[in-house]
Structures are given as structure tokens and as C-alpha cells.
Structure 1
Amino acid sequence: MQKPFFLASRIELFPRTLHLDCMVWASACVFGLSLAAILPTLLSAQQTSPEDIFHHAAQAHPEYALGFAYALGQDAPTVMIAGPTTKGVSGSVANDAPWHIGSISKSFTSTLVMRLVDRGEVTLDAPIGTYLARDKDSMHPDWRTVGLRQLLSHSAGMPANAPRHVTRETFAHAPYAGRRAVLSAMWGDPLPGKSGEFHYSNIGYVLAGFVAEEVTGASWEELIMSEIAAPLGLTSLGFGAPTQSDAARGHQSVLGFRRSVQPESPASDNPRWLGPAGTIHLNMADLVRWGQMHLRACAGHMPEYLAQASCQAMQTPDSSNYGLGWVIGDAGEKGPIVWHNGSNTMWYVVLMLNPEQDLVVAVATNLHAPKRMDELARKLMFALAPGDR
């Protein structure tokens, strides 16, 4: 199979730096918001309606699609969509069309693992070699002694991504076979990072998903559907680039020019084995429902699905200001902000939760526009959470 020419440009976006006061990380599936920047924007932005903010943002860039959804409490999500499916065409994106959410998928993988924890099938701090009996003898001690907590909080010292030649060789593999091939090509070597320090790692999440597969005997994709999509009614959830005709097509930047990418093309996403780190798609309403579930579970209202202690562990900083699948910030009088963002460089999505306001906000677009979308998410959060309600 001919290797896609775009592969290097998509995978080269490695994590960069993380500081307690400012995130500037980047990877194939996630691009970090500046947590320090949230505070002044939330606290000083002019109060206006979310509808006005959304329409102004859509009119500023009408050639691309823009999605916005929010919910207060257990209200049904409000969804607003504008723009064409593809730059330069007339077809509009449907309100119920799915969007590629990139590294927001990490919160799904973490939730899957925590459900296994709740059932006693795994523990967060046991060495992963405990669960990988047939592979542990081929693993360097650095790898087999890390725990799931370290993997989910990016504190295991894992490499950010697979070596480029390994990614090329496994790009067309089926998801589970690809994960096994990639990990087995890497886990014989020492870990590059220092245990206990934050090193953003897609490979760490691929390994966490692989542990879940080995423990349960089902693929990560099957587990996401059976443990998350089905019980929560997230009917739009799927994997890879959305293929529906009324969904937004991702746009890739080539030599400064943006062009749409057909969803059936290998160019439309990273390799399928990267799933646990970031290949999920779903529509804006379901994305907000995902946030609502986490607010309810952390408040103790969904013990049959996710134990309150497990949910709260996910939203407690463990490595720097990263919990288990979520970033945790503080917006002063607006309360804590729990969030994640994601991109495969062709879509960009932000999901923000405000537990004190019982508010979930999500924004999405079909190109890599982190600065603009981060600012839009903050403006909308402020407009919807002006203080005590």
C-alpha cells in the first residue's frame, strides 16, 4: 500500500511543554489551551448572549463549519451549527452530524479504565505487567512496572508517539493488531521520560487501551461501544473521520493552503491503532451529554455507571494540572474548569465543564484553529456562567 504523503506532517506535532501556569503542548491529537489565559478572559469579557457570540464567530469565517453546544444541569443540549460541509461548497452541516474530537477521546479511555477499576478487574497502581502476562518478559522493566494511573495522567515517562518508521509500517494495520505491533516494537527499550513528571503521551493512552483489551478480551473499539456508547445512548459515536454526507469535512493545510480531505482517504485521520488516544467522532449534542454524565457522576448521581470516587479521581490533578483524562483549571469566582481539547490537525474541538455552574460547553470547527476556538470557548463559557445563578 502506498504510504500517504501527509503522514509526517500529521504525526510530527509532538507534545512540547507544560507548565503549571500555562499549557503550550501539541500532539497529533491534542493542542493545549493556556489555562492562565482562561482567567482574564472569563473575568473581563463583556457579558453578551451566547447566540450573538456564536453568530459573530460564524460570520467571521463563513467558509468553514462551526459547531457550538451547551447544557445547564440536565437540560437537553442546545446545538447551533453554521457553515458548509466543505470550503467552497453549498451543502450545510447538519445539527446532528458528528465531528472528529481528537484527544477528547482520552476522557473516554480513562472512563473505560475506571469502570474496570470499579468492577475490580484492574487497579490503578498495579504494574501493567500484572495484566500482560504473555508479553511482560519481552518488556523493559521501565514499561512493565508502570501503572495505569501513570499512563492516564501522563506521568509514566512514555514517549509522545511511535517512531516515524513504526507508524509508517503499521499505518494500515487493523486497530488491535496495530496496537500490538507498535507497542511490541517499542516496549523493549527504556522509557525516555522520568517517572512522576508530566510528559504528554499518546502512546501511554494506546498502552492503557491495550491493557483494557488484554484484560477483557475485547477490542478497545468494542469496549467503547459496549461500555460507553450503548449504556449512555451516545448513538452518534464512531471512529475515524465522519463519513456522513452532511458532516463537516476536515481541512488540511498544505503549503499554507487549506484543502478538504475525503473521509474515505487514509489522509483523513491518524492510524486506527491510535484509537485510545484520539480517533472518536460524535455529534455536538452527544459530546455535551458526555460532559453532563461526568458532572452527574462526580456529584454521586450515577453510581451504577461510574463510582463517585472514580469520577472525582479523574477530575483531581495528578500530574501537574492533568487528572485522568481531564485537565483541571480554576476560573476564580466561576469555579473550577474541567476540560480537554482535541485535533488531528484537520478538526479542532474543545469541551469544557464547569461543575459549580453545572454547565457544559463544546465548540468545534473543521480545520486546525486552536487560538480562535479556545477564545470562542472561553467567551461562551463566560456568557453562560456569569456567576451565581
Structure 2
Amino acid sequence: MKHTRQRFAAVIGAVAAAAALLTAGTAQAAPAGDHSATLAALKTFQAAAGPGAGIFAGDTTGSWQLSVGTSTINTSKPVLADQYFRIGSQSKSFTAATVLALADEGKVALDASVATYLPGVVNGNGHDGTVITVRQLLQHTSGIPSYDPLGSLALAEPDGSFKAATLVREGLKRPPAGAPGTVFSYSNTNYLILGMIVEEVTGLPVHEAVTRRVIQPLGLTRTLFPAPGDRALPAPGIPGYHGARLGPFFFWSPALDYDPSLFGPAGAVISTEQDLATFYRALLNGQVLSPAMTAELLATTPVTSDAYGLGVFRMALSCGGEAWGHNGGVPGYFSQTVATKDGRYASAMTNVHFTNNTPVQQIFTLLDTALCENHR
């Protein structure tokens, strides 16, 4: 479908009025249907987000994409579905899939204690790895608080990388959010510990284990889990920005350059909207795990408010039914991908991540609109 052009925002210098050209377009083989409601929702999302925003969506009949704003400030480059960006906590779904694949092989037991695999690692300050289970790490009911990534920058090794054990100890310095299994408390520390379990069980660095067990088998050629020290964003990549908005005014500056090991299995993966849609569709529809383990993946509990499984969120749709996926925010990017069992999918991103006023509701509305616009 051909591109349409309206006014999009550009920044010259530090602060400028947001009143230039907005670019909207579609690509790929688009299924029949009108995407005007999704375009409107995308514009609303981008108005509260970064310099640009994009969405890649579709169903069993085909796919399509939309872009507004710009992927690179001071240009009119669209956000394209095959461009690389840092996916943040969507990485947790890749880590969870790896742990569950190991469970399928009998190498990890979901209800075994953390101490079974990492004796002595989780202890002190009210934390007890002999009673916290692998399942509780996956579903964020361990009670272990999250470490503060940006507050941990001073803990870098001489080469600039970070050791997971060091960051885990930072999280354990805080008292438990609750007794294991009694409260949902989202925590990056949980997924660093899961990464350490993967390494202990496989004998591989976690980035290699996830790559071999999930990324490569699914043919995700534009998805990578970078090794510690590899800070490069492959080409074609979408630059990430730090910024602020005040009414019609905004300021963008390059996002923090950080080592991927600062987030590791909790948030270091790089991918594209297209690859993420492929991954979540495969995960949801049993192409990654056995039927029994896929059921475990999607199992929620009253403690998690019936919304979080094992590394994936459930999203109720306005047109009925549900979608599953995850969101992610790291310096420079905010994104989310969801898929349904009947073959619909949507992956959206923007190239900024605010520390405050993250447009969570706007991206929910955008994804819901994309999935429901022609399926009511």
C-alpha cells in the first residue's frame, strides 16, 4: 500500500515545537481491511512517546506495517519492521522459553528450589534460596526485589561489563517483597538468577544457550542476544533516544550507551518487530515447547492477578479473547509484542524510553486496535 504523508515532528538543536511532518505508511502483503483506526492509535502513541513509532501486525492471511514520526531525528526516515532495536524486558520471554525447554528435557524442575542449582547464591536479608522455586522466579512471585540497573553502573568490571552474581547481590540487599509464592513483584533480579541457572545446567553462557535453544531453531535471523562487551546495534538499526516532552515541545538526545550485561537475560536481546511477531506466535502455538510446557507457560495464579504466566503477560482484548506477550523498556526504546492462538499478532515500538510517564496505556490501546480492528 502506498505511503501517505502528513506533518512529522523534527528537532533541530535542543528544543523545538512538535509541528512538522508525520509519516504513515504500510508495507508487506497486507490482508484486506482498513487500518485507519490503528493509524490513529499509532499517532496517539507516538505523540506521547519518541521521535518515531511503528507497528507490525497481521494474521494468517498476511502482514502489514505502519510508521509515524521518524526513526532518526532531523530526518524523515520511517520506523520499519525489519530494523533492529533493543527489546528490553521482552527478553524475559526468550529466557523463560529456554528454561522451559530445559524443563521439557528434564534438566530443570520448575518446582525445585533455586538452591538445587545455585546453592548459597540466594540467601541473607530474609531471602532463602532453599524455599524459592524456579517457577516463582519465572512468574515474579519469589519476593526477590529488582536491582536498580542505572544505580548499579558503578559495579562494572574493569572491562565495563557486569557479572550477574554482582547484580543479584544488589537485589538481595533489599528486604523481600513478600514470602515466596504470596505476592507478585516484578523483578529483573529473578531473570538474572534464571540466567545463572541456565548457565549452570547447560555449561554455556546464557546468551549462547538462548541463541542455540530458541533463536536459531526458529530462524530468527534478525534477533541476537549480545555477549558481554558487545554494545553494537546491527544495521539497519533504529537509534534510541533519551528525552522529555512538555506539551508541544520536546528534547531528544542519544540514549545511554551501556553494556548489554547490565540487563543480561532480563533485558539484553536485540530484535525487530517482524522477528518478535514470529517468536511470540511460535511460542504461543507450541512450536517451541511441548504441549504440557506450553500450558505451564500460560498458567496464571490468583497471586499474579490472573495476568502473568511464566515470562509472558496475558492481555484481554476489546473484541473478546486474549493475547499473550510482553513489553520492554531500556534506555532508548519502549516496545511490546502480543499474539493470539488464532494467528493474529502485533508488535509495536518507539525509539525513546521515558523514566516517567511511559505511554503504557497508549501502546495497549494500539495493540488492541491492531488485533481487533478487522476482527469484531
Please name the residue that 1:261 is paired with: 254
Structure 2 distance, partners of 1:322, 1:58, is 25
Q: Is the 8 A contact 1:68 1:361 kept in 2?
A: yes
Q: Which amino acid aligns with 2:284?
A: L
Q: Is the 8 A contact 1:316 1:328 kept in 2?
A: no
Structure 2 distance, partners of 1:339, 1:96, is 19
Q: How far has the Cα of 1:247 moved from its partner?
A: 2.3
Q: Is the 8 A contact 1:350 1:364 kept in 2?
A: yes
Q: How far has the Cα of 1:105 moved from its partner?
A: 1.2
Q: Tell me which moved more, 125-134 or 367-376.
A: 367-376
Please name the residue that 1:290 is paired with: 279
3-state SS in 2 of match to 1:343: strand
Q: Which amino acid aligns with 2:90?
A: I
How do 1:16-27 and structure 2 match up within 5 A? none
Please name the residue that 1:310 is paired with: 293
Q: How far has the Cα of 1:55 moved from its partner?
A: 4.0
Cα 1:323–1:94 shift into 2, 3 Å = closer
Q: How far has the Cα of 1:362 moved from its partner?
A: 1.3
Partner of residue 374 from structure 1, selected from 360, 364, 367: 364
Is 1:65 the equivalent of 2:69?
A: no
Cα 1:143–1:383 shift into 2, 3 Å = same
Cα 1:80–1:330 shift into 2, 3 Å = closer
Structure 2 distance, partners of 1:214, 1:136, is 15
Higher helix share: 1
Please name the residue that 1:272 is paired with: 261
Please name the residue that 1:180 is paired with: 165
3-state SS in 2 of match to 1:231: coil
Q: How far has the Cα of 1:149 moved from its partner?
A: 0.3
3-state SS in 1 of match to 2:263: helix
Structure 1 distance, partners of 2:367, 2:122, is 43
Q: Is the 8 A contact 1:348 1:373 kept in 2?
A: no
Cα 1:178–1:192 shift into 2, 3 Å = same
Structure 2 distance, partners of 1:350, 1:131, is 31
Structure 1 distance, partners of 2:232, 2:363, is 20
Structure 2 distance, partners of 1:339, 1:258, is 31
Please name the residue that 1:9 is paired with: none
TM-score (norm 2): 0.76
Partner of residue 337 from structure 1, selected from 323, 338, 346: 323
How do 1:1-389 and structure 2 match up within 5 A? 49=33, 51-56=35-40, 64-73=51-60, 77-133=63-119, 135=121, 142-162=128-148, 166-170=152-156, 178-184=163-169, 187=172, 191-196=176-181, 197-239=183-225, 243-253=233-243, 257-261=250-254, 267-269=256-258, 272-297=261-286, 302=287, 305-318=288-301, 319-320=304-305, 321-331=307-317, 334-355=320-341, 357-368=342-353, 369-386=359-376
Structure 2 distance, partners of 1:332, 1:163, is 35
3-state SS in 2 of match to 1:339: strand
Residue by residue over 1:163-189, the C-alpha shift from the partner in whole angstroms, topping out at 9 and shown as x without a partner, is 8754421377666x5102222455587
Structure 2 distance, partners of 1:214, 1:115, is 15
Q: How far has the Cα of 1:112 moved from its partner?
A: 0.6
Structure 1 distance, partners of 2:81, 2:39, is 15
Q: Tell me which moved more, 276-285 or 81-90.
A: 81-90
3-state SS in 2 of match to 1:334: coil
Question: Matched residue pairs, number?
Answer: 326
Matched-pair identity in %: 25
3-state SS in 2 of match to 1:232: coil
Residue by residue over 1:45-69, the C-alpha shift from the partner in whole angstroms, topping out at 9 and shown as x without a partner, is xxx9553234445667598322211
Q: Is the 8 A contact 2:145 2:172 kept in 1?
A: no
Q: Which amino acid aligns with 2:180?
A: S
Structure 2 residues not aligned, in runs of 5+: 1-31, 354-358
TM-score (norm 1): 0.73
Residue by residue over 1:128-184, the C-alpha shift from the partner in whole angstroms, topping out at 9 and shown as x without a partner, is 111124757889761343111000101000112248754421377666x51022224
